[in-house]
Amino acid sequence: MKSQSTAKGFAILSGAGVLVKVLSLAYLPFLTVIISQRGMGLYQPVYQAFAFVFVITNSGIPVAISKLISELVAQGNYKDAVKGFKIARTMLVFIGILMMLAMAILAKPIAIFLNAREAYLSLVVLSPALFLTSIVSAYRGYFQGRSNMLPTAVSQILEQVMNTIFSLVFAAVFIKYGLIMGVAGSTVGTTVGSVTAGLYLLYMYKKNRVFKVSKKAVKENVTRLPNKVLVRRIINYGLPITLSAGLQNAGSLIDAFNTRGRLLVAGLSNVVMNERYATLGQYNSFTRVPTTLIASLSVAVLPAISAAMAVGDKKTLRDKINFAFKVCFMVSIPSAVGLTVLGAPIFKLLFPKAGIYGAMFMEYGSIIVVLMGIVQIQTTVLQGLGKLNQAMLAMVLSIVLKIVINYTLIAIPKINIMGAIVGNIVSFLVPMFIYRSYINKSIKMKIRMASIAARPVFSSIVMGGVIYALYYLVYFVILKGKSSSLLLAMLVTFLILLGIFVYTYVMILCRGIRKKDIDSISPRLMRIMPGFMKRKMA
């Protein structure tokens, strides 16, 4: 099985990640039509509860598998890399079974806690997916540790395709028996998708489980590790990540209860509260599309950082960290600008019943894409450096601040749901500065994020100015603010493509993208680029 460079691994995972997120975003309007905006208001907290239990089950050990395997392979200890994976896989399966049973048994109390009593059946339907996804996560961690991102990418696509198809089909079938049954039916696809991804990854593992290495790569007198040491490493690597991710998602879960409850205090009816909360969830779906690229980057760069740390290669370590932040800014900054400028028409197209709040979320809250991207990369770097424990306090502080801000602002009738945007922004700003300090001290080098971000910021401003001017000219001046959905969709699609072109070209002109950057991902990209762009990069 061939390993890939960090850049190529990122390219593979990001391509799959974008496709997966586009599919998940594209099916939401159809799901909203089937179960209504009110049904989506019940669907969102259910999935947040599932996400919390999923994170507790699957966040730590798969990353520990990736980190452990990459370290042992870098040291030439291939036998313990395989043994460590098998131990971790057994641990994950056991945890997955426990979490599946716990969620099924406690479904009703969880739903009541979330002010979504009617949706408890959806949690019962989702519970088998926790066991299945634990198996899927184990194999993904294995392949990522071996720096082969292709099986993970393919499995993600298969999982989302099946999820999309079966979620819509079962929602449409069960909505005939009432809204609650329709919402429950919309969760069936998660389990079907997990089964599909698991079968594919099991096939790929059986095909590639033998380490094929040259004789030069085999190191003699490698110190073998006993099972106790491997278990200890898995726990030491996985537990801080589980606690960190668990804290984040616990905050989101408490926030779901907090937000929905405070909207009622603000004077909204139960129906309007569900609809407005659904709009917040739809906004979150938009912001997660570009952050999928950052998540892919995190997965691709973690083994490289862990391997560099294991062998004491400080130069590679610094290069990988700088690369991660560079790509993070190249993706997140133009995405945030694009969502700010085109958020209103996009929301109008996909969720016409969301009202003015969808557009307001996009206009004022798209900066969250940049903040989430930075914190995600910082968290990955801290994982690779083995310093995540030190960052736990910052995470707790950010969650507390978010809950307090949301509790205070959302209950004010004139602010209501917009208070959640303020809480989100603050909850990422706080850890961002604290994590930066930890990283600088750990590697004894300042990551100059401002200088790394300068070119993407300039290029994004140019891009935003161009697409906003053209959108305003066509939609408000020529069309007088009136157009069919088809015409608006064509305009938005054209502006998105134009924005990508303008941003890329300006980045090339200001040396933000160079030939070596393209070659590091795939030399084939140079062949399909226009000649005038190639000449500027020469």
Q: How far is CA 408 from the centre of its chain?
A: 28
Range scoring the smallest mean pLDDT among 96-105, 495-504, 520-529 = 520-529
Residue 242 or residue 491, greater confidence = 491
- pLDDT score, position 299: 65
Average pLDDT rounded to a whole number, residues 187-193: 91
Average pLDDT, integer, range 205-230: 69
Residue 1 has pLDDT above 70, yes or no: no
pLDDT digits (tens, 9 = 90+) for 56-80: 887 778 878 888 888 787 777 778 8
Report whether pLDDT(199) > 90. Answer: yes
Higher pLDDT, 322 or 492: 492
| Domain limits, the chain | 6-208+228-447
**pLDDT of 232-242, one tens digit each?**
888 887 777 77
Confidence (pLDDT) at 284: 81
Residues 432, 367, 45: CA angle, nearest 5 degrees: 85
Mean pLDDT value across residues 494-519: 85
Nearest alpha-carbon partner for 247 in 88, 363, 403: 403
**pLDDT exceeds 70 at position 392:** yes
| pLDDT for residue 4 is more than 60 | no
Of 519 and 391, the structure prediction assigns the larger pLDDT to 391
Over residues 325-373, the pLDDT tens digits come to 888 898 899 999 999 999 888 888 888 777 678 888 888 889 999 998 8
Q: Categorize the per-residue pLDDT at 496 as very low, low, confident or very high, splitting at 50, 70 and 90.
A: very high
293 near 18, Cβ under 8 Å? yes
Mean predicted lDDT score pLDDT of the chain: 82
281, 44 contact by CB (below 8 A): yes
User: Which one is predicted more confidently, 4 or 474?
Assistant: 474
Tell me phi and psi for residue 186, to 5 degrees. Answer: -70, -10
**Band of pLDDT at residue 6, cut at 50, 70 and 90:** low
Would the pLDDT of 140 be above 80?
yes
Among 359, 360, 369, 522, which residue's Cα sits nearest to residue 460?
369
| Separation of alpha carbons 341 and 345, rounded Å | 9
| Residue 407: burial class (beta carbons within 10 Å; 0-12, 13-18, 19+) | middle
